[in-house]
Amino acid sequence: MRSAALALLLLAGLAAGCTSSASPRRIEVRIHYSQFDPSELTVPRGVAVTFVLINEDPIDHEWLIGDSAFHDRHRQGTEVQHGARPDEVSVAALSTEETTLTFAEPGTIVYICHFPGHEAYGMVGTLTVT
């Protein structure tokens, strides 16, 4: 199933046999006025990407990235804090967090803040894996 493959996010350095000669990438995603900037990203498959999540707001947010089934589960209830899952990151007010992911399959997935009302307000971004 294609969406299941897209949801498979691997940490860089995991012994999963997914290595690449391409250089790792760093992408800053700013959170300001409860919006992601940029709200559209493109990354290559098989390359480790470190997302630097900079929350400039005086309130907490989260950055959850996955396919529609992943987001449907999160719409049912939001955790106060996310643990050691690289695709689910809590970003406290006025702080910065980093997470590194490698995307195995090409396609499009979204990143959303699922705190109450944030998705409806527009706190959604699209990531395209090429």
Q: Hey, what amino acid is at 112?
A: I
Provide the pLDDT for residue 50: 97
Q: Hey, what amino acid is at 76?
A: Q
Confidence at 4, pLDDT banded by 50, 70, 90: very low
3-state secondary structure 2-34: HHHHHHCEECCCCCCCCCCCCCCEEEEEEEECC
How does pLDDT run across 69-108, given as a tens digit for each residue? 899 888 886 666 676 799 999 999 999 999 999 999 999 9
How does pLDDT run across 95-104, given as a tens digit for each residue? 999 999 999 9
Burial of 100 (0-12, 13-18, 19+ CB in 10 A): middle
Q: How many helices (H) and strands (E) does the chain have?
A: 3, 10
Domains of the chain, earliest start first = 2-129 (2.60.40.420)
How does pLDDT run across 27-57, given as a tens digit for each residue? 999 999 999 999 999 999 999 999 999 999 9
